[in-house]
């Protein structure tokens, strides 16, 4: 930048790029802001700007037991799927991260493939397999299906954290007589923990928000929050959903802020 | 796994640790997909008669083909919008101080972690008949009757572009961060203007990031079931909803399986085209 001639030509370039970037940032952020504002409406419609402000729809949310029930189910499934993803994913990441072999690279591609393959196709396929072996859809099948689509986030973030680890640390530890398990507990785990937490966080969020897999693998009694919301939106535009969206947006912002502190999430996703 | 030479033993872990997840994927990911393939190759629901009937049905049915075509086109449009808007964000990110960098990243990141249903719902509020765009245009006297924005291709593309923008922007930020800033200065001091420097130096060198971003955005946009169905409405049908209708409402599992396989192959084809381009561009970028 320094010493560059400030010509009209370079000015026009920087102006165009900056303006487009600012417009893009506004497009990214505005939907969440709009929902937040509308959720405080005192009226009965989603008109923007609202005719007045109140907390009535948040109060309404307090009594919406169907949504509570769905939220509880989503939370339980997300916690189980995240736990399972961390156990399976971290172990697999340890195995494949430093191995240059073909099998390690093939396994890596296999573990990442749920990220690009259409989840709806996987949901249908899993449902057909479960019905073939006679396993009825239940919270268990939901946890299994969610784990398949969430484990890639744990594997990816753990592999990235392991790649940053200095091998000499492990060698020094071994030379000094520490066992592998001891080295893992005292050196490796503390150093890769932020990576594991970041991966677990993203896995949890994506499970909590999952629709395509849940659509096929849930039983009639297990209502999941995003599906409940989706079906409510298909039917009528309910302002209660705006209040629920407000709660989810605020919760997400709070969680992201905590994660940024704990794991440096933003650096992790751009390196 | 314990038989590895002692020198490698301490820094790498045995492949055995990958076995539980590999087994889990074999049973709950690979096997279901194989069964999907198996059923798609049968002409009847019970899976008794082998045949290519389901695929022939899809490939000779103009309606099915138009659904596939419009889905692939939708992905291309969304990817183009994301690239055009995401690149300037990544460019701006490299120009500002660390404080603003964190803010930009968090703005980009937030939608990625916010529920897709919530984000889509926001677009219904914005694009609806009484939504912000129509209300603003009407109060300014630009239009008399509300524009139809919801349930249109335009609406689906803009909403999906916002929903998928982080997937494009994050790899671009990484790629631009890897370019030596001296190249930019050298090009300018040798007399090339900013525009020329951008198109001849910055853009080619960031191609790996562009390709990574395009792959993720495209795959996510064509499979984004919720946004497609809520913003597109009942009039516009894309592959995920078509699959769901056949599987769930009509209980036609063999045909739904064939749709799934065709859809999977389409996604894989696009991803492998992008991957090949990525490999070529890396050679180019490294030169």
pLDDT tops 70 at residue B10: no
How many folded domains does chain B comprise?
1
Domain that residue B211 falls in:
64-286
- B281: in domain: yes
Q: Residue B210: inside a domain, yes or no?
A: yes
Is A138 in the B-facing interface, judged by CB distances under 8 Å? no
CATH number of A66-236+256-270: 1.10.3720.10
Q: Quick check: B109 and A47 CB within 8 A?
A: no
- Min Cα distance A18 → chain B (Å) is 6
pLDDT of residue B112: 84
A34, A103, A208 member nearest B125 (Cβ): A34
With a CB cutoff of 8 Å and minimum separation 6, the contacts of B45 are: B251, B252, B253, B254
B133 — pLDDT class (breaks 50, 70, 90): confident
Interface with chain A: mutation pick from B4, B96, B113, B267, highest number of A CBs within 10 Å: B113
C-alpha–C-alpha distance, residues B246 and B249, integer Å:
6
Is residue A158 within 8 A of residue A196, CB to CB? The reply is: yes
Beta carbons of A251 and A75 less than 8 angstroms apart:
no
CB < 8 Å from B in window 94-123 of A:
94-96, 98-99, 101, 103-104, 107, 110-111, 113-122
Q: Is the dihedral of CA A154, A156, A158, A159 positive or negative?
A: positive
Exposed e or buried b per residue across A97-133, where buried means at least 16 C-beta atoms within 10 angstroms of its C-beta? bbbeeeebeebbebbbbbebbbbbbbbbbbbbbbeee
Token representation of residue B166: 């982080």
Q: How far is CA B189 from the centre of its chain?
A: 38
Give buried/exposed letters for B185-197 (b at 16+ CB in 10 A, else e).
Answer: eebbeeebbbeeb
Partners of residue A27 in chain B, C-beta under 8 Å: 85, 158, 161-162, 165
Q: Is residue B10 part of a domain?
A: no
- Segment 38-97 of chain A within 8 Å of chain B by CB: 38, 45-48, 87-89, 91-92, 94-96
- For chain A, the domains span 66-236+256-270
Mean pLDDT value across chain B:
87
Within a domain: residue B140? yes
Q: A28 falls in which pLDDT band (50, 70, 90)?
A: very high
Identify the band that residue B1 occupies on the pLDDT scale cut at 50, 70 and 90: very low
Which of A16-30, A54-68, A84-98 has the lowest average pLDDT?
A54-68
CATH number at residue B107: 1.10.3720.10
Rounded Cα distance, B139 and A87, in Å: 56
Confidence of residue B3 (pLDDT cuts 50, 70, 90): very low
Structure confidence at residue B2 (pLDDT): 42
What pLDDT was estimated at residue B262? 95
Angle, CA A118 vertex, CA A112 and CA A120 arms, to 5°: 125
The predicted model gives B227-247 an average pLDDT of 91
């Amino acid at each position: 930048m320094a010493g560059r001639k400030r010509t009209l030509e370079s000015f026009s370039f920087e102006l165009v790029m900056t303006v487009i970037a600012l417009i893009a940032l506004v497009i990214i952020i505005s939907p969440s802001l709009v929902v937040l504002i509308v959720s405080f409406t005192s009226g009965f419609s989603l008109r923007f700007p609202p005719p007045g402000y109140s907390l009535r729809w948040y109060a309404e949310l307090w009594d919406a037991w169907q949504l509570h029930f769905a939220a509880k189910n989503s939370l339980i499934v997300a916690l189980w799927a995240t736990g399972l993803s961390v156990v399976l994913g971290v172990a697999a990441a340890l195995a494949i991260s430093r191995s240059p072999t073909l099998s390690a690279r093939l396994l890596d591609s296999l573990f990442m493939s749920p990220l690009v393959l259409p989840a709806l196709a996987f949901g249908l396929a899993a449902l057909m397999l479960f019905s073939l072996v006679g396993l009825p859809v239940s919270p268990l099948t939901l946890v299994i299906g969610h784990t398949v689509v969430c484990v890639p986030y744990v594997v990816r973030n753990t592999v990235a954290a392991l790649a940053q680890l200095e091998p000499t640390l492990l060698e020094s530890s071994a030379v000094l007589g520490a066992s592998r398990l001891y080295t893992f507990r005292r050196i490796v785990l503390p150093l890769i923990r932020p990576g594991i937490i970041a991966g677990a966080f993203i896995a949890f969020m994506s499970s909590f928000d999952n629709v395509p897999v849940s659509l096929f693998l849930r039983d009639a009694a297990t209502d999941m929050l995003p599906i409940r919301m989706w079906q409510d939106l298909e039917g009528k535009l309910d302002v209660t959903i705006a209040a629920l969206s407000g709660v989810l947006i605020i919760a997400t912002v709070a969680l992201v802020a905590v994660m940024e502190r704990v794991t440096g999430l933003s650096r992790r996703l751009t390196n | 796994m314990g038989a590895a030479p002692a020198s490698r033993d301490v820094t790498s872990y045995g492949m055995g640790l990958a076995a539980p997840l590999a087994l889990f994927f074999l049973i709950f990911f690979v096997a279901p997909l194989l069964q999907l393939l198996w059923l798609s190759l049968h002409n009847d629901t019970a899976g008794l008669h082998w045949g290519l009937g389901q695929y022939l049905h899809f490939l000779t049915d103009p309606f099915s083909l138009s659904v596939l075509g419009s889905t692939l086109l939708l992905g291309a449009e969304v990817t183009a919008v994301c690239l055009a808007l995401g690149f300037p964000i990544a460019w701006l990110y490299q120009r500002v101080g660390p404080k603003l960098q964190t803010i930009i990243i968090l703005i980009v990141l937030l939608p990625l972690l916010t529920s897709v249903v919530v984000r889509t719902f926001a677009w219904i509020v914005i694009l609806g008949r009484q939504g912000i765009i129509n209300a603003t245009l009407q109060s300014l006297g630009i239009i008399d009757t509300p524009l139809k924005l919801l349930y249109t291709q335009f609406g689906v593309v803009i909403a999906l572009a916002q929903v998928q923008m982080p997937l494009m922007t994050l790899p671009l930020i990484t790629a631009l961060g890897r370019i030596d800033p001296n190249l930019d200065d050298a090009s300018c001091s040798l007399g090339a203007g900013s525009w020329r420097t951008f198109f001849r130096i910055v853009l080619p060198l960031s191609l790996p990031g562009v390709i990574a971003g395009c792959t993720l955005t495209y795959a996510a946009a064509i499979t984004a079931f919720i946004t497609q169905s809520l913003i597109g409405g009942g009039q516009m049908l894309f592959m995920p909803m078509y699959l769901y209708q056949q599987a769930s409402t009509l209980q036609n599992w063999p045909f739904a399986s064939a749709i799934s396989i065709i859809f999977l192959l389409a996604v894989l084809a696009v991803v492998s085209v992008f991957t090949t381009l990525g490999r070529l561009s890396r050679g180019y970028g490294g030169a």
